Chains A and B, each alone.
Chain A
Amino acid sequence: MLIMVLIGTLLSACGGSNTATNPPKEEPTPSENTSQTEPAKENTTKTPKDGGTLTMGTFSDIVTVNPVFQSDTSSGDVSKLILAQLYNLDREANVVAEPWSLAAEPPQISEDGKTYTVKLKPEAKWTDGTPVTADDIIFTINATRNPEVGSPGISAYDKVDSIEKVDEHTAKIQLKQVYAPFIYSLILTLAPSHILKDVPPKELKQHAYGTDPAKTVTNGPWKWSEWKQKQHISVDADPNYWGAKKPHIAKVIYKIYADQNTEVQALIKGDVDTVSAIPVTQLAAVEKRDNLRVVLAPGPSYEYLGFNFDPKNFPDNFSLFEGQKTRQAIAHALNRLGMVDNVLKGTGKLMNAPFLPGSWADPGEAAVNYNYDAEKAKQLLAEDGWTLGSDGILTKDGKRFSFELQYNAGNSRREQISSIVQQNLKDVGIEVKTKGIDFAAWVDQHLNTGKYQAILMAWSLTDPDPNGESTFSSKYYPPAGQNSGWYKNEKLDELWVKGYSVVEQSERKKIYEEVGKEISTDLPYIFMYQYGTPQGIGPRVNFAEEDKPEPSLAYGYMYRMINWWVE
């Protein structure tokens, strides 16, 4: 299952796994959107130097690096340093076995698409000298899918039927059904079975593995040396690292700031070397400094205006968004291009369906594009029975077209977008009351319960698979599911299932084209744009052209960091 994530002020992130490997024939090239602004120094010709310290900035502390429980971005960042992944994604989002991956070769998928065989590198070992074995894979996946354990990544493995050990370094995973996105669930980090196998499932969460550096054996290029809570995490290059390619950077410090603003100030001051998310409002200030580089490109996330289809959320149980034409009118009324140009400043790209532009599943022309056209919007609204009231607001059956648009407070980009939405819709006679709510409270009280009228939100796609069943299917209503707007479309419900029940990518592409067409016509959301967070890089950081950050991938701001060096 595709794991999606709410992007909030705290950038909460994805489930434990993310990577995949369908070796796709046609090359999707997400990097073509990548416009790298690199004023000043061009370091790519220099030779790498060993040693030195790299400081990364962040604005939230880690929670745990235990792969079974890790779910937030900060913990994910640190995991990537100290734990090798079973597979990695290459720049084009293919699942591959890199020299630093635990797997020796790409996974073998059986004819019927239900069995995945994974082979480990025999030389891979943990910091305590124990080899990484098939047991670790089996333990990690079984623990994650055991409800007693309480792993946030549980849904990633709900299609797994059984896992068996073929030999010391080979594991075979049997699925209950054909489920194409599963390949991306193999981009996981492993928990050490030899340490954790005897812990009762219930107590796994209490175990110090993942929170106490001394008790956390790892298998990545760096090993975890210190966690000073709310201040920093430091990792040191592991002298006994098993990989043929060793890291250049001797020490990486992951420094925690109170918020994004202090983080950016620290980048400017030179206290940190890289910051993964510069607020767009501060972009100009960072770009002004000659010694800083900014990586600007759309990332693996998209923003949307989500409607609620549950009439209980509206006065008199009168759902304002019932009419398809009404939703289409709203799509026409919004100046999405203006938002991309003026607010996102080069980090955004328009989209019309929940598939990242440029990815293999992107339906392109097949999806309906709604250009900015207020007249068209007015016409559609009139066709749907809305008439202009005396106060300039549309009415239907005596009900005013006025709704509350919620978003998370403190996110300056979303705040700006919500103001633009408000004004755009006012122009066609719809009253929008925008409302910012603190992220945690918002999730608790509105998203998890499905109680709101409309929301401005984003999904972060932590793996590149296009499957979106868990966000749009009526199987996933709140509180358990992520379809918080109570959207129901039987045709789509079926199409999503069809989409993951074949492995062949060209077949899937056709299905997602159909999904794209249907969803962009019916509009459970107004799909606004794909966007990214600008990464800022200080003058000390160096990397070869092939190792540069890849903004289109999750965690792309530390893409191939093993090859980076500092001066």
Chain B
Amino acid sequence: MTEYLIRRILQSVLVLFLVSIITFVLIHAAPGGPTQVFLSPGLSQEAAQIQAKNLGLDQPIPVQYMRWMGSLLQGDLGHTFKNNLPVGEILWPTMQNTLILMSVAWLFSLLIAIPWGIYNSTVEYGLSDQTASFISYLGFAMPTFWFGILLQELFALELDLLPLSDMYTMGKEGQIGDLFMHLILPVTVLTLGFLASYVKFSRSSMLEVLNQDYIRTARSKGMKEKRVIYRHALRNAMIPIVTILGSDLAILVSGAAITENVFNWPGMGRLFVEMALAREYSVLMAITLITAVIVIIGNLLADILYALIDPRVQLARKGGASA
């Protein structure tokens, strides 16, 4: 177990390193590069050169990368070009806001999806199952922003029941009640997306378990159905569900860029879009890297959980081809 863990962690570090190189090069390979971006057209060549030098942009890309990496390792995410704000200062609050939105949506959908999916596995093709299936098809096929805009139009503008956008009403910052009202619409949009996959998933993993030999054996031994389901089936069906949650952790920070834009939610996804258009490369690098870290940790957790729950998995197996 320890050996496996160490190897997986080393792998993850390697992957992170590669991610940082790839994004850095991608960004700096852009025509014009960062230099052109913030230098205003009125600036003379000479003044432009002085500025590029001050910011270290006249150095070759590998040197710039080393510098960036160096300060990153000291916990410095860099500063914005345009106004020299520390990137962390911009990033952390938005990350928090995204976490609030996403975790509410995520927990809410899990609370609905897992019991529903499991129930549906026992009444395959019943009304409830068909409904779930309908919802998940819808969730997969509907452009999220369109759904969001439809909800806004109906509930915020026409009926005037819910706030249109933002996280808080101005002057009510930090009030839970107000936050709750603002959460309803975006959470609805996100939940549809989550439900689409989770209901189906928990249903099918339960179904799979129910068709396993050992369940049949349990039944044939005359065990009570309830006991079969709770003792054996449910527990085993949770295995794939738990692991999927681990690898979906990443969605908590990245999954809502579009929804955040529609609802003007001050989160990381919206920040990313805005910063991409404004070419604030240090912020983009930071967001990419942070999401990569979270994705990788999520996957690592998933693997470990998987190992803990399911004793049949041998961790030391060769070619654990996953990260």
Contact = CB atoms under 8 A, between A and B. Distances in A.
Do A and B contact each other directly (Cβ–Cβ < 8 Å)? yes
Interface of A: 3, 9-10, 15, 53, 55, 60-61, 63-64, 69, 71, 147-148, 150, 152-155, 202, 205-206, 210-211, 228-232, 253, 255, 257-259, 262, 265-266, 268-269, 271, 438-440, 443-445, 447-449, 470, 479-482
Given A64-B83, A211-B84, A152 B42 contact: yes
Contacts of B51: 150
B137 to A, nearest CB: 29
B278 A147 contact: no
Given A154-B43, A229-B93, A230-B271, A444 B164 contact: no
Given A71-B40, A230-B271, A269 B157 contact: yes
A22 B43 CA distance: 27
B36 interface: yes
Contacts of A69: 83
Interface in B67-91: 79, 82-85, 89-90
B271 A266 contact: no
Interface in B37-83: 37, 40-48, 50-51, 54, 79, 82-83
B41 A230 contact: no
Contacts of B50: 147-148, 150
A535 to B, nearest CB: 20
A266 B277 contact: no
Nearest to A444: B32
B124 interface: no
B299 interface: no
A482 B42 contact: yes
Contacts of A10: 277-278
Contact of A258 (B43, B84, B156, B261): B261
Interface string B162-206: 001111001100000000000000000000000000000000000
A63 B280 CA distance: 12
A-B CB proximity, top 9 nearest: A147-B47, A152-B40, A444-B32, A155-B42, A64-B83, A150-B51, A63-B83, A63-B82, A231-B266
B149 to A, nearest CB: 9
Contacts of B11: none
A393 B157 CA distance: 49
A265 B157 contact: yes
Nearest to B49: A147
Contacts of A231: 166-167, 266
Nearest to B79: A206
B140 to A, nearest CB: 25
B37 to A, nearest CB: 6
A563 B274 CA distance: 34
Contacts of A447: 41
Given A64-B82, A154-B47, A479-B41, 17 more contacts: A63-B82, A147-B44, A147-B47, A205-B54, A211-B85, A230-B270, A255-B170, A258-B165, A258-B260, A258-B261, A266-B164, A269-B156, A269-B157, A439-B277, A440-B279, A445-B31, A448-B36
Nearest to B51: A150
A221 B312 CA distance: 72
Contacts of A479: 41, 45
Contacts, number: 123
A258 B47 contact: no
A448 B41 contact: yes
Interface of B: 31-32, 36-37, 40-48, 50-51, 54, 79, 82-85, 89-90, 93-94, 152, 156-157, 160, 164-167, 170-171, 260-262, 264, 266, 270-271, 274, 277-279
A253 B172 CA distance: 14
A271 B169 CA distance: 8
Contact of B46 (A147, A262, A440, A444): A147
Given A266-B164, A269-B157, A444 B42 contact: no
A230 B266 contact: yes
A257 B165 contact: yes
Given A71-B40, A211-B85, A444 B90 contact: no
Contact of A262 (B43, B85, B89, B264): B264
Contacts of A271: 164-166, 170
Contact of A265 (B32, B164, B271): B164
B165 A438 contact: no
A443 B36 CA distance: 9
A457 to B, nearest CB: 13
22 contacts: A53-B170, A64-B82, A150-B54, A154-B44, A206-B79, A206-B84, A210-B83, A229-B94, A230-B90, A230-B271, A230-B274, A231-B166, A253-B170, A258-B270, A262-B262, A265-B152, A265-B164, A266-B164, A266-B165, A438-B277, A440-B278, A470-B42
A152 B83 CA distance: 12
B157 A480 contact: no
Nearest to B165: A262
A229 B89 CA distance: 9
Contacts of B277: 9-10, 438-440
A394 to B, nearest CB: 33
Given A147-B50, A257-B165, A444-B32, A211 B42 contact: no
Contacts of B42: 3, 15, 152-155, 470, 482
A257 B278 contact: no
A214 to B, nearest CB: 13
A289 to B, nearest CB: 11
Given A265-B164, A266-B164, A444 B45 contact: no
B121 to A, nearest CB: 41
Contact of A445 (B32, B260, B261): B32
Contacts of B47: 147, 150, 154
Given A444-B32, A448-B32, A265 B165 contact: yes
A211 B83 contact: yes
A445 B37 CA distance: 10
Contacts of B44: 147, 154, 480
Listed residue (A71, A255, A271, A439) with the most chain B CB atoms within 10 angstroms of its CB: A271
By CB atoms of chain B within 10 A, which of A257, A447, A479 has the most? A479
Contacts of B266: 228, 230-231
Given A258-B261, A258-B264, A479-B45, A444 B36 contact: yes
Nearest to B43: A154
A215 to B, nearest CB: 13
From B40, B167, B171, residue with most partner A Cβ within 10 Å: B40
